Structure 1
Amino acid sequence: MILLVLIGSYFLGNVLTGPIISKLFYKQEIRDKGSGNPGARNIGRLYGKKAFVITFIGDAMKGMLVIFTAQSLDLGSEIELFTLFAVTLGHVYPILFKFRGGKGISTFIGGLLLFNPLVVAVFISIFLIVYPFIKSFTIAGVGAVSSLPVILLLFSYEQFTLLAACLLSGLVLLAHRENLKEKTCRRKGRDS
């Protein structure tokens, strides 16, 4: 049962909202436009705020759906986060799109919101505290993502849930590695 839920979660992650919106409404291939990323940020840059919001919500719903499924089956918090890892993995590395997916942040946030809204409140608070000092959306976001295992530790979650949180955070950080390199190089250039 758990294996089927995890496999189903991965393939659900392969359903990318960005390319659907791009082809349906704009008759374009999103991977050939802007940054080439099929996520909400690139969609927003190309087609505006409305397209950004629809893409963000669509990708966030995937995370919410797998958490809802795991909760409905009473699989426990660790499996809930492993399903969120699986759907995010499917979003970032979709086999149906030759492993060229989004960055996973929308799916990550959507799933966490249903997993534990208080965790999301702390997550957002960390982002809001870090952002004014760093002045970088990406670095502040990555800082908040990195803090997930620590947040769950403070909420007294079990070790396997913490392991799932580490894998999930690691996956999102891996997906953002190019952005981080780019931001770090820019900051070094400014400081020198």
Structure 2
Amino acid sequence: MTIICYLLISYLLGSLMAGYFVVKILGKKDIRVEGSGNVGARNAGRVHGKVSFVFTFLGDALKGALVVLIGEYLNLSPELFLVGLGFAILGHVKPITLNFKGGMGISTFIGGMIAFEPLSALILVIGFILLYPVLKSFTFAGLGSFVLLPICFYFLGVQLLPILIAGVLVLAIIYIHREDLSERFEKRAKK
């Protein structure tokens, strides 16, 4: 019963959309009908500037971190923290609170991974710095740095099952971004 409640709470936390509240409070706008219509940090920044981007990113990252911290508090296993993070990402992408139209899950993923393994922050930054000059795209470099996480977890001594679940989460994030990636590949092919 504890696990079911934990997963439900994780999904519901994920469904609390920081971008919606930040842009509504700071900009008096409905982010769902502004810019790309996405309620994530990138669109919040587009619609209402850098402050909205930062607050939205931090709010969405906090959801992922809270899910992992709640899992730790409940003495659940590391693999369950990551499954909970998966439910939070699902809540972010398909929030019951906004008719199942949410964000892309990146901030929630990052916050959860950093709470799970604090060195994730360093891995993500170094990965991005190394990949950006080669790929010349924030999206490609960011998602590429995510791929490094499960690999680095292995060398940090994380057990196999959490590594595999982290890998599945990375693949899920890439899948969520499939349309964006496809558009970027097409633009590059035309150059």
Normalising by structure 1, we get a TM-score of 0.93
Mapping of residues 161-180 of structure 1, within 5 Å: 161-180=162-181
Cα distance in 2 for partners of 1:28, 1:118 equals 37
Aligned partner of residue 147 in structure 1, secondary structure: helix
RMSD across aligned positions (CA)? 1.3
Equivalent in the alignment of 1:57: 58
- The Cα shift of 1:111 comes to 1.2
The offset of 1:119, in angstroms, is 2.6
1:15 offset after TM fit, Å? 0.3
Runs of 4+ in 1 over 3 A off after TM superposition: none
1:117 counterpart SS class: coil
Distance apart, 1:98 and its partner CA: 2.3
Mapped contact 2:35–2:47 kept (Cα < 8 A): yes
Alignment length, in residue pairs?
190
Q: What residue in structure 2 maps to residue 126 of structure 1?
A: 127
Paired amino acid for 2:94: Y
Q: Indicate if the aligned counterparts of 2:95 and 2:102 stay in contact, CA closer than 8 A.
A: yes
Shift of 1:167: 2.3
Indicate the residue corresponding to 2:149 in structure 1.
148
Aligned partners of 1:119, 1:30: CA distance in 2, in Å? 30
Are positions 1:13 and 2:6 aligned together? no
Distance in 2 separating the partners of 1:187 and 1:131: 15
Cα deviation 1:53-79 (Å, max 9, x = unaligned): 111111111011111111112212111
> Where do 1:92-111 residues align within 5 Å?
92-111=93-112
Q: Please state how far the C-alpha of 1:34 moved relative to its aligned partner.
A: 0.7
Residue 183 of structure 1 pairs with residue 184 of structure 2: yes
Q: Which whole-Å CA distance do the structure 1 matches of 2:49 and 2:183 have between them?
A: 24
Corresponding residue number in structure 1 for 2:48 = 47
CA separation in 1, counterparts of 2:149 and 2:102? 22
* TM-score, normalisation: structure 2: 0.94
1:2 deviates by 1.4
Q: 1:21: Cα distance to partner? A: 1.7
Separation in structure 2 between the aligned mates of residue 165 and residue 92 of structure 1, nearest angstrom: 17
Corresponding position of 1:75: 76
Counterpart position of 2:37? 36
36-45 or 153-162, which moves further after superposition?
Answer: 153-162
In structure 2, distance between residues paired with 1:152 and 1:93: 28
Shift of 1:157: 2.1
Task: State the match for 2:24 in structure 1.
Answer: 23
Contact 2:26 2:52 in 1 (8 A): no
Q: Flag structure 2 segments of 5+ consecutive residues without an equivalent.
A: none
Letter in 2 for 1:22: V
| Percent of matched pairs sharing the same residue | 42
